[in-house]
Each structure stands twice: as structure tokens, then as C-alpha cells.
């Protein structure tokens, strides 16, 4: 089973007149790019959360926002630095007097100066951390469920695309027996027209024809293509994250399809090969979002 790198999960938890919310969003990326928006009071827990994300998320461009909302009676009170406020206010008043401007709202202006109002950043309790961690775990469960659901959709599409390639391969097998006689007939006609039938050494012609046709043989490419497609479908069912593995297999599929097209020397087969390439491009696009 595969998972999508695109995911979304959110969870909220109420405890002691406080609401904890965790929201997780992710997009596709070759590596894990993790951005945590964590309240300052919980900054010492960031490493723990990052390690957990590395284990569970693995890859993707991920943004996680932690929000804590206190009820009115639970809000942390702010304190005023009275000495600093008096200093700012005195300086503002003296400057206003020197300029001959009595000024207004000097107190309000002084309150907006740096470090006059200070918010209490108490160390959080173990119970608060426990509640935030529980909310994080719940959001992660929701996030992983979203990824799995998206992965199921991707898996069904990939199975369809590989099935289309295998169906096209059967068409090639139907067309191939007609290819060699057609090539032989075409070469014979060209020689008869430009060299003359009486001037052709039939033994030498047969030898050269066998050598030429051997170069156009696509039996090995068909066998390998079938094998790679079967392996791809098998890898889809693996319980581990395997987006990179599937990408490698798709490259091998592409190699066999391209070789088959270059060797075909037949318009009908080449048309079928073009259809295979179209399906393969769709597979590669989908694999960009597979974990």
C-alpha cells in the first residue's frame, strides 16, 4: 500500500479551560522539509516533536502549527515594568516641554515602547505538555489517514496505467509476426528495383537479412518489459514507503519501451509504443506525489 506525500490533519483538545489545536499540512518534496510553529513556552519540546515527525512523516514539505487558546479567566497576565515606564514617560515629557509642545497621550505612547509590557513565560507543567502531545498525536493520526486515502486513489490510477501498458504489449505481440515478412518483402522489392533480380546473390542476401532482422528482434525487450511491469505492481503492495523504488522501476520500464520503439521498424508497432509512453508519463507524474 502506498501513501501520498500530500496530506492534511487537524485535532483539537480542551483541558482545564484551555484549547489545544494542532494542524498538519504537507506537499510533495524529495526530502523532509519541516516547519514547526510552536508556542514559545514549549520551545524546549521542539526536538522531541521533530524526531517524531521524522519517524512518521518521512518525506514531504510539512508545516505544523500548534495553537493554545486560554479562556478569559485562564489567560496569563501581563506585567508592567514601572521603572522603565516612568523613565520613558519622563523623557517624553521633558522633550515635549523643550519643544514647546505639551503633548498628549504620552503615557499611552510610553506603554508601547520596548519591554514596558512583559508577558509571563512560565515553564509549562507536565500536564500541559501531555495535553499538547496528545493533540499532536491525534492530528498525526488524522494526517496519516488522509495520506493513506490519497495513496489508495493514486494506487488505483497506477494499476490502471500499468495495465494499459501490458495491454499494449499484447497488441505488439499480435502485430510482431507480420513485421518480419513485411520487412523482408520491402527489402526484396528495393533490391529488385535498384539492383535487378538476376544480379542478387540469394545466399548472401539471406545471410545479410538474417543479420539485419536479428538486430530488430524485440523478444528480450518484451520479456523485460513484462517483468518490470509485474515487479511494479508487486512493489505497490509493499507495506513500506516505496515512492523512490517505484520511480526506479518506471525508469526501467521506459528504457524497454524506448528500445522497443527504436527497433520496431514498423508504423503500427510504433503507434502502440507511443501509447505506452503516454501512459508511462502519467505514471511518472503520479509518482512525484508518492511517499
- 205 occurs within a structural domain: yes
Dist. CA 179–CA 260, nearest whole Å: 13
Kind plus residue range of the DSSP H or E element containing 223: helix 219-236
Which residues share a beta bridge with 63?
Answer: 25, 35
pLDDT truncated to tens, each residue of the chain (291 aa)? Answer: 789 999 999 999 998 888 999 999 999 988 899 999 998 888 889 999 999 999 999 899 999 999 988 775 555 556 777 888 888 888 888 888 877 776 667 777 877 787 776 655 556 788 989 999 999 999 999 999 999 999 999 999 999 999 999 999 999 988 887 777 767 667 666 666 666 666 666 666 666 666 666 677 888 999 999 999 999 999 998 877 688 899 999 999 999 999 998 888 788 888 999 999 999 999 999 999 998
Residues 101 and 184 occupy one common structural domain: no
| Shared domain check, 207 and 85 | no
Q: Are 155 and 281 found together in one domain?
A: yes
Structurally, how many domains does the chain consist of?
2
Rounded to an integer, what distance in angstroms lies between the CA atom of residue 172 and that of residue 254? 16
165 and 267, same domain (yes or no): yes
Among 119, 140, 174, the domain-final residue is: 119
> Which residues form the domain of 204?
151-287
- Residues 94, 213, single domain; the answer is no
85 and 163 within one domain: no
274 is a domain residue: yes
Does residue 41 belong to any structural domain of this protein? Answer: no
Q: Per the domain annotation, does 23 fall within a domain? A: no
Amino acid at each position: 500500500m502506498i501513501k501520498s506525500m500530500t496530506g492534511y490533519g487537524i485535532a483539537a483538545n480542551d483541558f482545564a479551560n484551555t484549547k489545544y489545536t494542532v494542524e498538519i499540512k504537507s506537499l510533495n518534496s524529495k526530502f523532509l522539509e519541516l516547519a514547526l510553529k510552536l508556542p514559545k513556552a514549549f520551545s524546549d519540546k521542539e526536538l522531541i516533536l521533530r524526531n517524531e515527525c521524522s519517524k512518521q512523516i518521512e518525506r514531504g514539505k510539512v508545516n505544523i502549527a500548534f495553537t493554545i487558546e486560554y479562556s478569559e479567566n485562564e489567560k496569563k497576565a501581563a506585567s508592567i515594568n514601572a521603572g522603565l515606564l516612568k523613565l520613558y514617560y519622563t523623557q517624553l515629557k521633558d522633550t515635549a516641554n523643550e519643544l514647546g509642545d505639551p503633548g498628549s497621550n504620552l503615557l499611552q505612547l510610553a506603554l508601547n515602547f520596548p519591554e514596558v509590557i512583559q508577558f509571563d513565560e512560565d515553564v509549562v507543567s507536565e500536564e500541559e505538555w501531555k495535553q499538547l502531545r496528545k493533540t499532536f498525536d491525534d492530528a498525526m493520526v488524522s494526517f496519516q489517514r488522509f495520506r493513506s486515502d490519497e495513496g489508495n486513489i493514486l494506487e488505483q490510477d497506477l494499476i490502471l496505467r500499468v495495465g494499459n501498458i501490458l495491454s499494449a504489449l499484447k497488441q505488439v505481440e499480435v502485430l510482431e509476426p507480420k513485421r518480419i515478412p513485411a520487412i523482408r518483402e520491402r527489402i526484396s522489392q528495393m533490391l529488385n528495383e535498384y539492383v535487378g533480380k538476376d544480379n542478387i546473390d540469394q545466399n548472401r542476401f539471406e545471410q545479410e537479412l538474417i543479420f539485419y532482422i536479428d538486430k530488430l528482434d524485440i523478444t528480450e525487450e518484451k520479456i523485460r518489459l513484462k517483468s518490470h511491469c509485474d515487479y511494479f505492481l508487486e512493489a505497490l503492495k509493499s507495506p513500506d514507503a516505496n515512492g523512490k523504488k517505484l520511480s526506479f522501476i518506471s525508469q526501467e520500464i521506459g528504457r524497454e519501451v524506448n528500445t522497443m520503439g527504436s527497433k520496431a521498424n514498423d508504423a503500427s508497432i510504433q503507434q502502440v509504443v507511443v501509447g505506452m509512453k503516454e501512459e508511462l508519463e502519467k505514471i511518472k507524474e503520479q509518482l512525484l506525489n508518492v511517499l
